[in-house]
Amino acid sequence: MQHAMIIDYKYCTGCESCVVSCAKEKGLGTEEWGMKVEQIGPNKIGGKWEWDYVPVPSRACDLCAERREAGKMPLCELHCLAKCIEIVPVEDVSKRLADLGEHKVCCFMP
């Protein structure tokens, strides 16, 4: 079954727990990453300041396939303090995105 990562970055605080847990799991060095948190802003849009942090998976991300096969959660999802990362079956992506409504959301499929 194919899965996708849904990132509701409206709530991301930029803590980088996902970055650290992914690098540790994959044994990545300091110049490599499986997940990186990008900062967008600060920007003043319509008189309101916005400053977003967006977790971005790299090509190294396989959604922790081995962990999922063993019945465990992917580490980025497990360690996300804001609970903004969620791994779902591809069949559930459109419903989950609709449930989130007008949040700041992105989707990743390896």
Please give the model's pTM, rounded to 2 decimal places: 0.88
- Domains of the chain, earliest start first: 3-108 (3.30.70.20)
- Average pLDDT value over all residues in the chain: 94
Task: Give me the phi and psi of 77, to 5 degrees please.
Answer: -70, -40
Percent of the chain topping pLDDT 70: 100
12, 86 Cβ separation under 8 angstroms: no
In tens, the pLDDT along 11-51 reads: 999 999 999 999 999 999 888 999 999 999 999 989 999 99
Helices (H) and strands (E) in the chain, counts: 4, 5
Q: What average pLDDT does range 43-68 have in this prediction? A: 94
Collapsed DSSP state (helix, strand, coil) of residue 22: helix
DSSP secondary-structure letter at 10?
Answer: G
Which pLDDT score is estimated for 95?
A: 95
